[in-house]
Amino acid sequence: MKELLYLEVPTPNTLAVRAWLQETFEPAVGTAIATVDGLRLEFPHPSEASALPRALSVFVWSLQRTTYLKAYRWGDTPLPQEARLIRQLEQQIRQTFPPTFPELPPFAPAQETIFEALAAHFPKTVTYFQRMPNGKADLERVYWWEKRWRDSVRSPKAPRQVIFRQMEPLPAVAVADSTTDPSETFDIVYVGGALGIIHAAVMASLGYRVLMIERLPFGRMHREWNISRAEFQSLIDLGLFTEAEFESLIAREYEDGYNKFFDANNPAVAKAPVLHTPTVLNVALNSEALLKRCGEKLLAAGGTIWDETEFEQAQVGDEGVTIQVRDRTTDTPKIASGRLLIDAMGTASPIAWQLNNGRAFDSVCPTVGACVSGGFEPEVWDSTYGDVLFSHGDISRGRQLIWELFPSQGKELTIYLFHYHQVHPDNPGSLLTMYEDFFHILPEYRRCNLDKLTWRKPTFGYIPGYFSLGKDDRTVAFDRLVAIGDAASLQSPLVFTGFGSLIRNLARLTNLLDMALRHDLLKAKHLNQIRAFQSNVAVTWLFSKGMMVPTGQVIPPARVNSMLNTFFGILESEEPAVADRFIKDRATWSEFNRMALTAASKNPALLWWIWQLAGTQDLLRWLGSYLNYTLQTFLLWLFSWFPGWLNQNRGWVEKTHPALCF
């Protein structure tokens, strides 16, 4: 037998595809005979002595809430008009079952519950959110987050202005009833209390007067955090936590992590064994306990927290910044003043959108999942192990779905489903659609009965990605304002962990921010240097680009898995430390080049596959990033003596030339 066609039909209604094959499709040649899973096209055989008929077998099956189709020829001899027949089948089935991108259903809170609004569109999502302790409120958060995301992606208008200079007229906002004295001034005002609270606690411990503004009740988290011991060490070195405190925050530490991508349909050169990464994301933290502890440390250091408070706008002057917010519990306005405003509002930050003229990021990672605390059979999963990156099927409705699974406290598991997504107005990326997929296909990924699982809470979000060309190609600051975390598109291109990226860069960010405040280096030209740009991360961004299926483009279903297996197979053949450094964004120039050359020689088609997915423009952008990476590597080698010299002479250099030292 010879495979002639493999394609994905982007619909979960496999029965409709089978019915179309059997009842509607009229092949140009051959005699059609219905089969259990599709049809068989038979052709007269020139010799009666043949044991098998001359035939083309077409069949469909369902996986990951989509439909796959294959066509096989029986025998080695081409059939009459074979190529024409395959083209006809592919063209007609794509016309009949085109990709669809459903709109968000309307929701009127005054007239219906979120469950009533979504039940007809996302039945499994409604069913299992109803079984979570705060399911109604959490599903509303998913809905409104997706709505805001869709609006921001599709809006043709300029981003809403929320940052103004002192001489600019402010939109009318009533502040007469403000409960805060405008003369009260903080050193730093943070907006966004997830990643923001960690940095705020560090800066408060250095003696700065800090205000934290959080839209939700403080300490509520819709994402869990995993990290390694070596990465968390930076928080211990900064004095925010002791070793004992860190141990108390660990929910679970697993023995090994697996990385494996589905390869049943890959060519032989693109199959790979499991990549073991025992020190990547292997420590599951109790995220809510971590936030609570940071909040306690912030308050103990004299800081202030305003939770359930919505940021509205800020006015920047020569001497400080005035922030206007609204208390969501009383719907009353409040104002605060500070020397510096830090944006930690994440993907949907209106500040980031304004500063970058609506181009806050190039791509996004829609992520959904849940924490479950029991219900898996013992033989299904050993909770001393985790899945770091795993796929159990090929491209599904224009997305390569990837799972993560991390053990947590007791019998708890945190499970994520995500995909790398190129943002498009017609296809912004839907959290609710992903959740419906999650609940449908979780039993395919890990054998389970959803009704026997104990659902603790959902985990979800839009995690941004940015294709950096250099350290100055993205605005992360304004006078007296700087962005951190997801608002600054600070993330890892492979595992998209903004938390880990922030922690890895926290010491440098803290050191520079402390110097900027001490010497009043708070202009945009100074603050734009407080970023965590890494030239090696800019280069590896191409790998995440290669995992995105552009809207409207059709590629072979196994293509992304083939690319991933090619490269992860090479990582598996390297020393464990090399894979660890690569996934943690610490790969060296020589390691990157060695692995890239090995991949190209092992699978020359890889270069063409990347070109198809990335396109000429992005490949040229990547080439610029690679040349910059090479230059930075050379300069670091050439001036390798300089950091030591600066540390020895920092006292007088900073005192006499603070801006130069900065």
- 531-590 pLDDT tens trace: 655 666 667 777 777 788 889 889 999 999 999 999 899 999 999 999 888 887 778 889
Q: Evaluate whether 492 touches 585 at the Cβ level (below 8 Å).
A: yes
Instruction: Indicate whether 408 pLDDT > 60.
Output: yes
In this prediction, residues 361-366 reach a mean pLDDT of 79
- Comparing CA positions, the residue from 36, 70, 104 lying closest to residue 436 is 104
Instruction: Indicate whether 174 pLDDT > 50.
Output: no
pLDDT value of position 184: 66
Query: Interior CA angle at 207 toward 202 and 213, to 5°?
Result: 60
Q: Which of 93-97, 239-243, 252-256, 585-589 has the lowest mean pLDDT?
A: 585-589
Radius of gyration of the chain from Cα atoms?
27
Q: Where are the alpha helices (DSSP H) in 56-100?
A: 82-96
**Cα–Cα distance for residue pair 163/171, rounded to 1 Å:** 11
pLDDT value of position 179: 46
In percent, the amount of the chain with pLDDT more than 90 equals 51
**What's the Cα-to-Cα distance from 109 to each of 26, 106, 144, rounded to whole Å?**
49, 10, 11
- Comparing CA positions, the residue from 222, 208, 237, 214 lying closest to residue 298 is 208
Instruction: Indicate whether 173 pLDDT > 50.
Output: no
Q: Evaluate whether 257 touches 282 at the Cβ level (below 8 Å).
A: yes
Q: Hey, which of 218-227, 463-472, 478-487 has the most confident mean pLDDT?
A: 478-487
For the chain, which domains are there? 2-96 (3.30.310.50), 114-157+362-465 (no CATH)
pLDDT value of position 497: 57
Average pLDDT for the chain: 87
Q: Which of 170-179, 423-432, 548-557, 627-636 has the lowest mean pLDDT?
A: 170-179
- Residue 2 backbone phi and psi in degrees, to 5: -135, 125
**Cα–Cα distance for residue pair 142/368, rounded to 1 Å:** 10
In this prediction, residues 448-477 reach a mean pLDDT of 79
Phi-psi region of 539 (alpha: psi -120 to 50; beta: other; left: phi over 0): alpha
**Cα–Cα distance for residue pair 204/301, rounded to 1 Å:** 6
pLDDT value of position 621: 80
pLDDT value of position 180: 45
**454 falls in which pLDDT band (50, 70, 90)?**
very high
Return all residues near 145 (Cβ < 8 A) that are at least 6 apart: 348, 431, 460, 461, 462
Instruction: Indicate whether 505 pLDDT > 90.
Output: no
- Helix H or strand E segment including 371: strand 363-372
pLDDT value of position 490: 62
In this prediction, residues 252-280 reach a mean pLDDT of 93
Instruction: Indicate whether 60 pLDDT > 90.
Output: yes
Instruction: Indicate whether 50 pLDDT > 70.
Output: no
Q: Which of 111-115, 228-232, 416-420 has the lowest mean pLDDT?
A: 228-232
**Cα–Cα distance for residue pair 15/22, rounded to 1 Å:** 11
72-91 tens-digit pLDDT: 998 888 888 899 999 999 99
**Cα–Cα distance for residue pair 126/120, rounded to 1 Å:** 9
